[in-house]
Structure 1
Amino acid sequence: MNQQVTPLIPSSVQPGPDSSIGGLLLASGKITPENAERVLRMQKELGMRFGEAAMRLGLITEADIQQVLARQFDYPYLLQGEAKFPTELVAAYQPFSQQVEKLRAVRSQLMLRWFARGRKSLAVVGINPGDGASLFLANLAIVFSQLGERTLLVDANLRTPRQQQIFDLPSRQGLSDMLAGRAGTDTIAKIESFVALSVLGAGTLPPNPQEMLSRSSFGDLAGQLQANYDVVLYDAPAFSLGSDALALAARTGGVLLVARKDHTNVRDIHAMREQMAHSGAEVVGSVLVDF
């Protein structure tokens, strides 16, 4: 499953009781109640749709219409300038781009090859720091949530975590604290910009990350998370940093490898595949990112 994927991101407006185009435009602040009356008059006079009348009056843009349509069909995304997420999260800001189409292709392959077989957990692993695995995974999690799957992204990189920064989460307890018995599932953050996405940050960075991921408590926690979510995606530390990724892969049972074009050595990929197989994990596929 080798895919060319460029760095790929959410919507802040929650549909209220009125999920019509006009209601959503009002709820999102795109038009005011006074302007809505102008639109309704033109709509009645010319026999056109509300959105068309609002565009003719210059109150909204085509992008505004596309966004509220996505809301109507439970496919939220953000316009540039909304929220504090990095623009590289293109799955949220540019859901109709070619980049995101490639992400959907990866999602489809994973659904067929892994999740359709009754699996719920998958680790995503890069060879070296900077290979883009964390950013790729953040976008992949968004795409899964847009499918309507209850998706949990777990930052299991207890050395150099990134998901807290990507999703603009406050400093708080996370995975390591749960494994140490110092936090509960209320640590999981629901990302309100999306319909079905939650993130569990890495938490307090421990001095023994590999041992933390090898604890029996991790297996218990993984089972609990699988019972509450349709898809659980784990962000693993880079393979070159130690055996953390192997410990994590052994727990999830499946691994998606991420390589960076013109950056990752092919021999390193083969070596990682062999070691993953020896750990008992199945390499579901590999993705080539280009950025």
Structure 2
Amino acid sequence: MTTQNSQVVRSIPLAKTANNLLAETGNARTMGSILMDSGRLSIGNAEKILSYQRENGVRFGESGRALGLLTEDDVRFALSVQFSYSYIPSGSSLSHELIAAYQPDSASVEELRMLRSQLMLRWFNNGVDHKGLAVVSAGSGDGRSYIAANLAIVFSQLGERTLLIDADMRMPSQHRLFSLGKRAGLSDILAGRAGSDAIVSIDALPNLSVITAGAIPPNPQELLGRQSFSKLLLALGEDFDVMIIDTPPASVCADAHTVAVRTGAALIVARQDKSSMVQLGKITHSLREFGVTLVGSVLNDT
């Protein structure tokens, strides 16, 4: 690899301007051109990096970091553009629990991608009305919201128009993970107090939008049981390819069952050494009785 990189760099005459040095080849953009176009790198510094790269036979990003002209964030940003995946700067206000965006090359995220592939085959690609998926767990603390958030991110990274809905209107989490603060959300929509303005596009994560839980209502079960919730999901399905819906613990209330029936499918989350097998058995049995398709289960060991 080092030999190949060195040969490529030597074939580029440094007398040319940096714009020519870093010109695009076909549709592929070099790291240097991406960083210059974004204002992260000057022409002069680009030429210094190329010179260092030629002399030492290392990659552009490594050369830039060695010279102190590029930061780790600069390199991660350029790679995210080259390989079309979402990028979050290290100083972002978004929670670091969103590992699918912060650590896209980690083993945990690779497992999420494998789960995404299974869900596409088992549910989302099997019918035009298969847009929603309820993420459920028997008890609290099983990592249900964590899985829902990161699963939504990996779907958005695939280019799917993805919507994450926080239907846990008892102890919601998604507003915290995505640093959205107190704002109108699902409860407000279902109560007729908000509309499409409650859908928030996440600028740092293209193709991903979020509807928070909104104001904590006194009657979440009744709100989810209304026909307006079903109509809302149908309307949202016109604009989104994938809708991942976070829910409260199924052993605490009936909300998760209601959401799963409305979407038609559920993913069950359990935490290693914590989740009750008895409770898991009950929720699995009850969901099947309601005609919900169980598309998979996740053992969360984080």
Q: Tell me the TM-score normalised to structure 2 length.
A: 0.83
* Residue of structure 1 aligned with 2:81, choices 64, 71, 75: 71
Partner of 2:67 in structure 1?
Answer: 57
Following TM superposition, by how much is the alpha carbon of 1:173 offset from its aligned partner in structure 2, in angstroms?
A: 0.5
Following TM superposition, by how much is the alpha carbon of 1:182 offset from its aligned partner in structure 2, in angstroms?
A: 1.2
Establish whether residue 179 from structure 1 lines up as the match of residue 190 from structure 2: yes
Following TM superposition, by how much is the alpha carbon of 1:284 offset from its aligned partner in structure 2, in angstroms?
A: 1.1
CA contact (8 A) 1:157 1:235 kept: yes
Tell me how far apart the structure 1 counterparts of residues 61 and 273 of structure 2 sit (CA, whole Å): 46
Partner of 1:207 in structure 2?
Answer: 218
Superposition pairs of residues 100-111 of structure 1, within 5 angstroms: 100-111=109-120
Tell me how far apart the structure 1 counterparts of residues 66 and 284 of structure 2 sit (CA, whole Å): 57
* Residue of structure 2 aligned with 1:153, choices 153, 164, 173: 164
Tell me how far apart the structure 2 counterparts of residues 106 and 153 of structure 1 sit (CA, whole Å): 17
Superposition pairs of residues 257-276 of structure 1, within 5 angstroms: 257-276=268-287
Deviations 1:156-196 (A, max 9, x none): 01111100000000311111111111111121000011111
Tell me how far apart the structure 2 counterparts of residues 260 and 44 of structure 1 sit (CA, whole Å): 50
1:198 match: secondary structure: strand
CA contact (8 A) 1:74 1:195 kept: no
* Residue of structure 2 aligned with 1:188, choices 199, 204, 212: 199
State the identity %.
49
Partner of 2:251 in structure 1?
Answer: 240
CA contact (8 A) 1:253 1:282 kept: yes
Partner of 1:15 in structure 2?
Answer: none
Counterpart AA for 1:199: V
CA contact (8 A) 2:247 2:259 kept: yes
Tell me how far apart the structure 2 counterparts of residues 210 and 150 of structure 1 sit (CA, whole Å): 28
Counterpart AA for 1:117: N
CA contact (8 A) 1:213 1:248 kept: yes
Alignment gaps of 5+ in structure 2: 1-27
Cα separation, partners in 2 of 1:33 and 1:154, compared to 1, 3 Å: same
Establish whether residue 140 from structure 1 lines up as the match of residue 151 from structure 2: yes
Tell me how far apart the structure 1 counterparts of residues 109 and 56 of structure 2 sit (CA, whole Å): 38
Following TM superposition, by how much is the alpha carbon of 1:76 offset from its aligned partner in structure 2, in angstroms?
A: 2.1
More relative contact order, 1 or 2 (CA 8 Å, 6+ apart): 1
Cα separation, partners in 2 of 1:131 and 1:56, compared to 1, 3 Å: closer
Tell me how far apart the structure 1 counterparts of residues 95 and 62 of structure 2 sit (CA, whole Å): 32
2:81 match: secondary structure: helix
Deviations 1:175-223 (A, max 9, x none): 1111111111121000011111000001111111001000000011000
Higher mean C-alpha deviation, range 42-51 or range 91-100: 42-51
Establish whether residue 112 from structure 1 lines up as the match of residue 115 from structure 2: no
Following TM superposition, by how much is the alpha carbon of 1:63 offset from its aligned partner in structure 2, in angstroms?
A: 6.7
* Residue of structure 1 aligned with 2:292, choices 276, 281, 285: 281
CA contact (8 A) 2:97 2:177 kept: no
Following TM superposition, by how much is the alpha carbon of 1:32 offset from its aligned partner in structure 2, in angstroms?
A: 4.3
Question: For the aligned residues, what is the CA RMSD?
Answer: 2.5
Q: Which has the larger radius of gyration?
A: 2
Tell me how far apart the structure 2 counterparts of residues 73 and 225 of structure 1 sit (CA, whole Å): 29
Partner of 2:107 in structure 1?
Answer: 98
Partner of 1:35 in structure 2?
Answer: 45
* Residue of structure 2 aligned with 1:85, choices 80, 94, 98: 94
Following TM superposition, by how much is the alpha carbon of 1:285 offset from its aligned partner in structure 2, in angstroms?
A: 1.1
Counterpart AA for 2:75: I
Deviations 1:238-264 (A, max 9, x none): 111111111111101000000000000
Tell me how far apart the structure 2 counterparts of residues 124 and 212 of structure 1 sit (CA, whole Å): 18
Establish whether residue 225 from structure 1 lines up as the match of residue 231 from structure 2: no
Tell me how far apart the structure 2 counterparts of residues 229 and 250 of structure 1 sit (CA, whole Å): 19
Q: Tell me the TM-score normalised to structure 1 length.
A: 0.86
In the alignment of these two chains, the number of paired residues is 273
Cα separation, partners in 2 of 1:136 and 1:46, compared to 1, 3 Å: closer
CA contact (8 A) 2:152 2:163 kept: yes
Tell me how far apart the structure 1 counterparts of residues 240 and 30 of structure 2 sit (CA, whole Å): 30
Cα separation, partners in 2 of 1:49 and 1:133, compared to 1, 3 Å: closer
Alignment gaps of 5+ in structure 1: 1-17
